[in-house]
Amino acid sequence: MSIAKKMPKQEAALEQNAFAGQKTKPTDKAVVSVLGSRLALWKRTVADLKRDLKIDTAEWHTGSVKYGWSYRLQLKKRNIVYLGPRRGWFMAAFALGDRAVAAAQTIDLPAAVIQNINESKRYVEGTAVRIEVRTPEDVETVKKLAKIKIEN
């Protein structure tokens, strides 16, 4: 998993959303510019989740202009995952409930992802799990976690 290989978790969390401070939602051109060579991973992630998990809503969302914009994927108005663009990569953020966290322990996920889940902060909404997406393997991890979230 990229977090363990490329950048310590604490540093990754500090890297700012590419659209922080922007008052209007990102354009397609801006996303292409920000993601660069990882645009294909972004498109694959979104397309696969829509097709395989029947995601019915995908839209730009911000809770605060200060923190930037994320692409929110929902199923029946339930938030499944937020994709937050960074320069040259993107972050997939989940809020996993207790059953989803337990289910994640039982499937084939990289050890670094399990460690990430186990060490992540728990909020009322669920355990905050963030996955750096830089490789096709990271996309597969995001898809597995999204499926677990939907099923639990």
Instruction: Round the average pLDDT of the chain to a whole number and report it.
Output: 92
Average pLDDT over residues 105-129: 96
> What is the edge-to-edge ordering of all strands in the sheet holding 78-86?
57-61, 70-75, 78-86, 89-96, 126-133, 122-123
Q: How far apart are CA 60 and CA 99, in angstroms?
A: 28
Which tens digit of pLDDT belongs to each residue from 29-80?
Answer: 999 999 999 999 999 999 999 999 999 999 999 999 999 999 999 999 999 9
Confidence of residue 142 (pLDDT cuts 50, 70, 90): very high
Question: Using CA atoms, how far apart are residues 17 and 40, in angstroms rounded to an integer?
Answer: 19
pLDDT for 14: 59
Q: What is the pTM (predicted TM-score) of this model? A: 0.89
